[in-house]
Amino acid sequence: MTAVSPAEADVIVIGAGLAGLTAARELAAAGRDVIVLEARDRVGGRVLNHTLASGHVVDVGGQFVGPTQRHVLGLASELGVATVPIFTGGRAVLEIGEGRHDYRAVPRLNPVQLADAGRAVFSLDRMARRVPVQAPWRAPGAAAADARTLADWARHNVRTRVGRFAIKAFSEGVLACEPGEVSLLHVLFYLRAAGGFRQLTEVAGAAQQDRFAGGSQLLALRMAEQLGPDRVRLGAPVTRIEQEASRVVAHSAAGAVTGRRAVVAAPPALAGRIGYDPPLPADRDQLTQAAPMGSVIKCLAAYDEPFWRQAGYNGQATSDGPAARVTFDTGPPDGSPGVLLGFVTGAEARRLARASPAQRRAEVLASFARYFGPAAARPADYAEHDWTADPWTRGCYGTHFPPGTWTQFGPALRRPVGLLHWAGTETATEWSGYMDGAVQSGKRAAAEILDALPRS
Ligand SMILES: Cc1cc2nc3c(=O)[nH]c(=O)nc-3n(C[C@H](O)[C@H](O)[C@H](O)COP(=O)(O)OP(=O)(O)OC[C@H]3O[C@@H](n4cnc5c(N)ncnc54)[C@H](O)[C@@H]3O)c2cc1C
């Protein structure tokens, strides 16, 4: 006789990314029955491992972890997943227009222009310190900051080419969108939630310091393993959620599952594609209409050895030229193999998403060769993932709020709707947009439910 999986639980979790799995793990640990419904045939969502031909595992999704990211580091330590530092020895490359600068600490640029960029960063950080992460719409001057884009702010506050480069590189590299697409208030919230510009952009002591040994997806795989296949159901895209007075029913290709509460642990844009009965309140639905995903194609090239290390480079480049505008050496410390990682983001990602795979690969490798020499154009292996084309993510790294979103719809971001709770990195108040934020949001949603469903 075939065992039938139960169709009833205390809590239904929709989405088996880090947020949903964390929520499920916390709820199961507190003795609640939980069923996770995941659209894909795998767990992890925006964290995804890829095994190179050499056998080395790389991340085509979320990868870097920094020392202040206590939620994801705590989870990793509970799951026995170690961290490995990113290779940093050597010079980095900065390319602005036709100009190329190889540098160790600070590039040799016109001091007036460097000071202009420094002032812009200082002003953003100072404004960000006044933004309450729980309620950015209550920040002093929130209405004005949410009525303009980062580009508009930069037009009035940044005077030089290097200053403008710094703002564009930040927007494309960190938020995966152009400065004209994102609200200034959202940028300030993002800075505040992460602890400032330096935390977001640097390697040592900051967000890009380490990665997880065995790939970030290992965190999701281990949580799913602990929960077991009965609790984590793959290939179950939820199309409709019905709420009655004291129960909620989630409909998916895997059938209907009934619970006393549910957590939707998907980014707002994806949560908005589910049908709700009764319909969501207007502000929660309009939030999902007003919260787009960024655009990222993550590209990895593997080489028999990291030839750039021997030439004195650390594999890091920042540029405003074609294709990959940010690169890192993401290979193992011993250099076997050498791995270069390139991010194609924002408008450049949209341009290359329309190109053929062969054209895209050629352009990405040409950008690597511009930074580190012609050998970079001849990798032993190459992998890429266009997250804008991925039907269960539709863009990355996360969501950026355009003008008006925070002040008009912000209060609906985490507010439960009847028996429905919201998780996902977009709902986090620490490291929103990051793996750390995903884990924080999962714990918060689980705590809300444990409060609402005390043990009888
Ligand atoms: C290229 C790239 C690079 C990144 N780099 C970093 C980095 O270096 N460091 C860092 O900390 N973060 C990074 N991030 C961001 C990080 O990966 C995410 O913040 C985090 O993984 C989000 O987790 P989540 O659980 O909130 O959302 P997701 O991982 O998106 O999980 C949501 C889940 O819900 C599922 N789902 C959606 N709709 C439905 C439905 N209707 N029914 C059922 N299931 C559904 C999805 O399939 C998915 O599994 C990166 C992301 C990308 C893509």
- What is residue 134's predicted lDDT score, i.e. its pLDDT? 98
Q: Ligand 1, closest atom to CA 296?
A: 1
392 in ligand 1 pocket by Cβ < 6 Å?
A: yes
CA distances from 310 to 93, 314, 327, 356 (A): 15, 9, 17, 33
Best residue for ligand 1 mutational test, from 190, 435, 441 (most atoms within 8 Å of Cβ)? 435
pLDDT at 4 over 70: no
Which residue has the CA at smallest separation from atom 41 of ligand 1? 238
- What is residue 1's predicted lDDT score, i.e. its pLDDT? 44
Q: Give which of 420, 422, 404, 441 is closest to 241, Cα–Cα.
A: 420
Q: Ligand 1, closest atom to CA 60?
A: 1
421 in ligand 1 pocket by Cβ < 6 Å?
A: no
163 in ligand 1 pocket by Cβ < 6 Å?
A: no
Q: Ligand 1, closest atom to CA 238?
A: 42
Q: How many residues does the structure list for the chain?
A: 456
Spatial distance between the Cα atoms of 214 and 340, rounded to a whole number of angstroms: 17
- What is residue 3's predicted lDDT score, i.e. its pLDDT? 52
Q: Which two tokens stand for residue 123?
A: 């002003």
- What is residue 272's predicted lDDT score, i.e. its pLDDT? 98
Q: Ligand 1, closest atom to CA 46?
A: 29
Pairing of strands 34-37, 232-233: parallel
3-class DSSP state of 129: coil
- What is residue 200's predicted lDDT score, i.e. its pLDDT? 98
Spatial distance between the Cα atoms of 211 and 435, rounded to a whole number of angstroms: 11
Q: Ligand 1, closest atom to CA 236?
A: 43
Which residue has the CA at smallest separation from atom 49 of ligand 1? 45
396 in ligand 1 pocket by Cβ < 6 Å?
A: yes
Paired residues of 8 in beta bridges: 258
Q: Please, which pLDDT band fits residue 2 given cuts at 50, 70 and 90?
A: very low
Best residue for ligand 1 mutational test, from 397, 413, 436, 439 (most atoms within 8 Å of Cβ)? 397
Express as a percent the part of the chain with pLDDT over 70: 99
Span 177-236, pLDDT tens digits: 999 999 999 999 999 999 999 999 999 999 999 999 999 999 999 999 999 999 999 999
Spatial distance between the Cα atoms of 413 and 296, rounded to a whole number of angstroms: 24
Mean pLDDT, rounded, for 120-138: 98
> What does the radius of gyration of the chain's CA atoms come to, in whole angstroms?
22
Span 6-33, pLDDT tens digits: 799 999 999 999 999 999 999 999 999 9
Rounded mean pLDDT of the chain? 97
337 in ligand 1 pocket by Cβ < 6 Å?
A: no
b/e 340-367 (16+ beta carbons within 10 angstroms → b): bbbbbbbebbeebbeeeeeebbebbbbb
Count of Cβ atoms closer than 10 Å to residue 134 Cβ: 9
Q: Ligand 1, closest atom to CA 441?
A: 26
Q: Ligand 1, closest atom to CA 22?
A: 25
How is 374-427 classified by DSSP, letter by letter? Answer: GGGGS-SEEEEEETTS-TTT-SSS-B-PPTTHHHHHGGGTT--BTTEEE-SGGG
Span 387-409, pLDDT tens digits: 999 999 999 999 999 999 999 99
425 in ligand 1 pocket by Cβ < 6 Å?
A: yes
Q: To which H or E segment does residue 326 belong?
A: strand 326-329
Spatial distance between the Cα atoms of 2 and 126, rounded to a whole number of angstroms: 62
- What is residue 191's predicted lDDT score, i.e. its pLDDT? 98
Q: How far is the CA of 47 from the centre of ligand 1 (A)?
A: 6
Q: Give which of 204, 199, 158 is closest to 179, Cα–Cα.
A: 158
The gap from C-alpha 396 to its chain's centroid, in whole angstroms, comes to: 6
Instruction: Report phi then psi at 63, rounded to 5.
Output: -140, -55
Span 266-325, pLDDT tens digits: 999 999 999 999 999 999 999 999 999 999 999 999 999 999 999 999 999 999 999 999
Best residue for ligand 1 mutational test, from 46, 264, 295 (most atoms within 8 Å of Cβ)? 46
46 in ligand 1 pocket by Cβ < 6 Å?
A: yes
Q: How far is the CA of 8 from the centre of ligand 1 (A)?
A: 26
